[in-house]
Amino acid sequence: MEKFKKIISSKNFTLVLGFLGLFLVSTGVSLAGFTFLVKDTSIVKTGTSSTGKVSRVDLSKPKTDACPINGAMYTKAEKDIWETRRPILAVIENHLESRPQSGLSNADVVYEAVAEGGITRFLAVFYCGVADNDYIIGQIRSARVYFVNLALEYGSNPLFVHWGGANNICNNCPGGVKPYGDIDPRVDAYRLLEKIGWVNGRYGSDMNGATNTGYPALFTDDRRMNLATEHQKVGSVDKIYEEATKRVFGAVDENEKAWSDSFKSWKFIDDKPQTATASNIEFPFWDSMSDYNVNWKYDSVNNKYLRFTGGKEHIDLESKQQLSTKNVVIMYVKEEGPVDKEHHMLYTVTGTGKAKVFQNGIVIEGTWEKATGVARTKFLDGEGVEIPFVRGQIWIEVVPSVNSVSY
């Protein structure tokens, strides 16, 4: 008994008891915390986004509200979010070395056109499809005037996201301007952005990673550090919207003018699959650049078109899914160039031209028209009647008018 008392009173035994007590307390805290987290997760886990992340809204609720951009149906909670914002128009690259890109599967509308040398680039419209979560979009690249002209039809001061652009600025030239002929004034994107009033230092709706917008809205993606610097730049949708709020470009501006006051929606219809007569759409942008050839294959089971680029499935890095769309539009435009010493191309996206609209497994041949930069591009059938789009993503291929498309 006396020996037992000595053990209890010993310093070593006291330390053992202390460690044991600390272990029991920490275990209890951990278990309590784990229980709390599990309970909390069961409350907020109402669905998962396309990237597998837990959504901030209950995606199991009825889809009762149509997106004004592409007619897709969403929950009331998602609409409540997008109605506090305005569209993001992001210039995203498609260089062979940059693939796969981030976020294209969540864009409402995507335009594709040649940027230079037969290499295509995207103008992606983000609004409804990114309401349920934060999304990484990219890689962000430089602007072109035809992308600005297309962005102009998305209401008053959309958030135009890019990293640089064609311009005549030269730090080492007399007067800070490039010599005549280096850049054709018609392709000067900076000049056009100034002219339309989107640039206002760090306070405009123009969000340029090269001049007025930095981290955390636009940043270098650590996952892409093995690539050339120009292929590393991405953006966070939520942070872009936070930056927009600081600049007073929410759903309304500082004058209480809503972006949507000057926006006109296209017409939309529900899915109506037909006996497929156009199930394999194929075309090049430039014959010499096969890595940028496009192929859309019709998936009759899901009534959508699956995208292949350069003969390979085109994947979204975030969702790990193949890009797809409900509507493929071929917008034939005049191609001119290279128009200057920097080899810029010029594509005319105002005026009128021929068009083909693929949806429901069939093709509708017609025309497109866009009277001015701010006017909405309309796609008309052979009778001059506006073609409604199937609700869901719309992909518009801005193709040189001399190109052929097989299907």
The DSSP result for 41-78, as a single string, is HHHH---B-TTSPBPSS-TTS---EE-TTT--EE-HHH
**With bands split at pLDDT 50, 70 and 90, how would you rate the model's confidence at 26?**
very low
Residue 212 and residue 156 share a domain: yes
261 and 156 Cβ atoms separated by less than 8 Å: yes
**Euclidean distance between CA atoms 48 and 43, whole angstroms:** 13
Q: Would you say residue 234 has pLDDT above 70?
A: yes
Mapping DSSP to helix (H, G, I), strand (E, B) and coil, where does residue 92 land?
Answer: strand
Report the relative pairing of strands 346-348 and 109-116 from DSSP bridges. Answer: unpaired
Would residue 194 count as lying in a domain? Answer: yes
> Given phi > 0 = left and psi -120 to 50 = alpha, else beta, which region is 260?
alpha
pLDDT digits (tens, 9 = 90+) for 265-300: 999 999 999 999 999 999 999 999 999 999 999 999
Q: Which residue among 261, 278, 310 closes a domain?
A: 261
- Statement to judge: residues 7 and 99 lie in one domain: no
What is the predicted pLDDT for the residue at 53? 74
Q: Which H or E run includes 396?
A: strand 394-400
Q: Are residues 279 and 256 in the same domain?
A: no
254 falls within a domain: yes
**Amino acid identity, position 32:** A
Same domain, residue pair 90 and 193: yes
Verify that 248 and 292 share a domain, yes or no.
no
Q: What is the model's pLDDT at position 175?
A: 84
Closest CA to 116 of 139, 144, 148: 144
Q: Is the pLDDT of residue 16 over 90?
A: no
Which CATH number covers residue 283? 3.50.90.10
Instruction: Tokens for 223, please give them.
Output: 């996952």
User: In this structure, are 222 and 239 located in the same domain?
Assistant: yes
Angle at Cα 101 formed by Cα 99 and Cα 102, nearest 5°? 160
In this structure, are 88 and 28 located in the same domain? no
pLDDT(355) > 80: yes
Query: Taking all residues of the chain, what is their mean pLDDT, rounded to a whole number?
Result: 90
DSSP label at residue 280:
E
Same domain, yes or no: 344 and 245: no
233 and 115 part of one domain: yes
Distances (CA, A) of 325 to 81, 305, 360: 23, 5, 11
The domain boundary residue, chosen from 261, 277, 312:
261
Does 406 fall in a domain? no
pLDDT value at residue 174? 87
Residues 134, 256 within the same domain: yes
Same domain, 155 and 93: yes
DSSP string, 309-371: ETTEE-B-TTT--B-EESEEEEEEEEEE---STT---EEE-SEEEEEEEEETTEEEEEEEEES
Share of the chain above pLDDT 70, in %: 87
Domain count, the chain: 3
Contact 112, 398 (CB under 8 A): yes
Q: Rounded to whole angstroms, what are the CA distances from 278 to 50, 271, 306, 309, 362?
A: 28, 16, 13, 18, 5
User: Does 364 reside within a domain?
Assistant: yes
Which amino acid is present at 160? F
Residue 407 lies in a domain: no
Kindly state whether residue 56 falls inside one of the protein's structural domains.
no
Q: Which of 92-106, 124-138, 164-178, 358-372 has the lowest mean pLDDT?
A: 164-178
Q: Same structural domain for residues 98 and 227? A: yes
256 belongs to a structural domain: yes
DSSP letter, residue 296: E
Domain with 36, as residue range(s), is 2-44
Span 44-94, pLDDT tens digits: 334 556 666 789 999 999 999 999 999 999 999 999 999 999 999 999 999
Is the residue at 313 inside a domain? yes
What mean pLDDT do residues 146-172 have?
Answer: 96
pLDDT in tens, 300-349: 999 999 999 999 999 999 999 999 999 999 999 999 999 999 999 999 99
